[in-house]
Structure 1
Amino acid sequence: MAITDPLALQVLAIAKEAGAKIMEIYQRDFAVYEKQDTSPLTEADLAAHKCIVAGLEAISDLPILSEESADIPWEERKTWTRYWLVDPLDGTKEFIKKNGEFTVNIALIDGGKPIMGVVYAPALEKSYVGIVGQGAWTETAEGVNPISAKLHSEGEVWKVVGSRSHQSPEIKNLLELLGGESELVAMGSSLKLCLVAEGEAHLYPRLGPTSEWDTGAAHAVALAAGANVTVLDGANPLNPDAEALTYNQKESVLNPYFLVSA
């Protein structure tokens, strides 16, 4: 089994190159700066950002929205139909803790919807690639394997992805609504969405803050694997008719709370 889409392969190569730059810094002591919102920003974010922007500009003339160049005015952004959405290093806290659960995220957005995404976890040497309408795959040293979201079977323990950095009483409420036994699976960064995409978990409710670049690439992987990513309905968290999570439809780049489900 192989990934054959030429653009996806180019983007995967760019993500891996950025990952190599991140790992050079990961393996030594690194400087930690402070962003305006006080979240840690490392040298690795900036090195990966420069690498990805250069790589994407070499293969495409589409605009790029990256966490490290997020000050593009809404007046300009709202004219975009297709663009690249990038998080050069998602899971900065996991990076600083050195637990390996951080990713390079590159998504192609079309009409507010993610249509292709690459998520690369350089410390784990694992890639996720999703092309909506074609399929989703993981790539490791063992090779490339197709993945798909896994429906919950009656009587089965619910596997629910939680965040290492954000927990809330609302999660407990949702677990109670599910009924039956549930098991919380902790994971960092956009790998949480990927766990649902590859059938390792049934649900990922996100009840904490995220930005569009945090989710775009893994959202594409999840959709390509047959999962849904919907805006969380506070009154009915398990609403099957909840609206799909979309991108670049408003001035703010913050996501609403959302649910990834098989």
Structure 2
Amino acid sequence: MLKKVCKLARVAGSAIMDIYSSQENFIKISYKLNNTPITNADYISNNIITTGLTSFFPNIPILSEEQKHHLKNYKSWNIYWLIDPLDGTKEFLKKNGEFTVNISLIQKGIPILGVLYAPFFDILYFSFNKKAWKETSKGCERIYVAQSDVPLLITSRSHIDDQLEYYLSTLKNYKIKKLGSSLKFGYIAEGTAQIYPRFGSTYIWDTAAGHAIVIASGGKMQALNGRKLDYLLSSQSSLINPGFFATS
């Protein structure tokens, strides 16, 4: 299962890079109701992933960012695929390379498999059975979180708010790096960074794959109130996450 999902992420990432590397007028941009951008790369990646998952695993339903969402229709799902075919569309449009393909498998509200692929950097993070790996052109290796006396804190490149500014004011010794998309989860999982605080809203497809990888590498992922993030659709009133911390 894991190999098939990783391959799908790579194929989708390759299609995204074809558009990313093309002339500017080949990138088609529109805007959702919440005023966030969506491109033809989002749609093409979504089609590759959903078609592949349906072919490989026809009995497992799919919830993707790029579809119409009717929460009441998902209430009976105990297992499902949760995907963000292009996480970091703003970074994609800025041409800074910080975007990912996110695929996760949710069972009874828990992300049990996670795949994050950053096609610009050709970095693949993936997890299953409580183990996490990172694959690059240099090879594949198990990854683990790491502690530091001066922790590296990573924040969103596109989302800064007053709560984050206040949180930073309470800290003393730390370093900080801004980074786009779900790459932040990969940095936590591989031990490069120690804290990813998120006070603003995210959707469940933004976090599930990274959540799985952080937990499998020995890290923690919890809401600001200390509770675990829950992906059980029968208990959800919306598809929006609370604020959270991903930590080593």
Query: Which residue, 134, 144, 148 being the options, matches 1:148?
Result: 144
1: CA distance between counterparts of 2:194 and 2:168?
A: 12
Any residues of structure 2 matched to 1:56-71 within 5 Å, and which? 56-60=53-57, 61-71=59-69
Rate the CA distance shift 1:25–1:75 in 2: closer, same or farther, 3 A. same
Q: Does residue 1:158 correspond to 2:151, yes or no?
A: yes
| TM value normalised by structure 2 | 0.94
Cα displacement (A) at 1:184: 1.1
Cα distance, 1:176 vs structure 2:
4.2
Aligned mates of 1:227, 1:157 — CA distance in 2: 17
Q: Report the counterpart of residue 198 of structure 1 in structure 2.
A: 190
Q: CA deviation at 1:169?
A: 3.0
Secondary structure of 1:149's aligned partner = coil
Q: Deviations over 1:18-55 (max 9, x none)?
A: 11111111111211111121111100000000000011
* 188, 199, 215: which one aligns with 2:180: 188
CA distance in 1, matches of 2:187, 2:199: 17
Q: Who is 2:42 aligned against?
A: 45
Partner AA of 1:142 in structure 2 = K
1:77 maps to what in 2? 74
Letter in 2 for 1:143: G
1 CA distance for matches of 2:198 and 2:72? 29
1:13 maps to which of 7, 12, 22? 7
Aligned to 1:244: 228
Offset, 1:175: 3.3
| Stretches of 4+ aligned residues off by more than 4 angstroms | none
Q: Supply the distance in 1 between the matched residues of 2:163 and 2:147 (Cα, whole angstroms).
A: 23
Amino acid at match of 2:160: Q
Partner of 1:26: 20
Question: How many equivalent residue pairs?
Answer: 242
Q: Name the structure 2 match of 1:237.
A: none
**3-state SS, counterpart of residue 202 of structure 2:** coil
Once the two structures are overlaid, the 10-residue window that deviates more, 246-255 or 120-129, is 246-255
Q: What is the letter of the counterpart of residue 64 of structure 1? A: I
Does residue 258 (structure 1) correspond to residue 248 (structure 2)? The answer is no
Give, in angstroms, the shift of residue 171 of structure 1.
2.3
2:83 corresponds to which of 60, 68, 86: 86
The corresponding residue for 2:221 is 229
Q: Which runs of 5+ in 1 are unaligned?
A: 1-6, 234-241
| Letter aligned with residue 247 of structure 2 | S
1:90-105 matches, cutoff 5 A: 90-105=87-102
Percent identity over paired residues? 41
In structure 2, runs of 5+ residues without a counterpart are none
CA distance in 1, matches of 2:180, 2:18: 21
Q: Residue 63 of structure 1: CA displacement?
A: 0.4
Deviation at 1:132, TM superposition (A): 4.1
RMSD: 1.2
Tell me the SS of whatever aligns to 1:189: coil
TM-score w.r.t. the length of structure 1 is 0.89
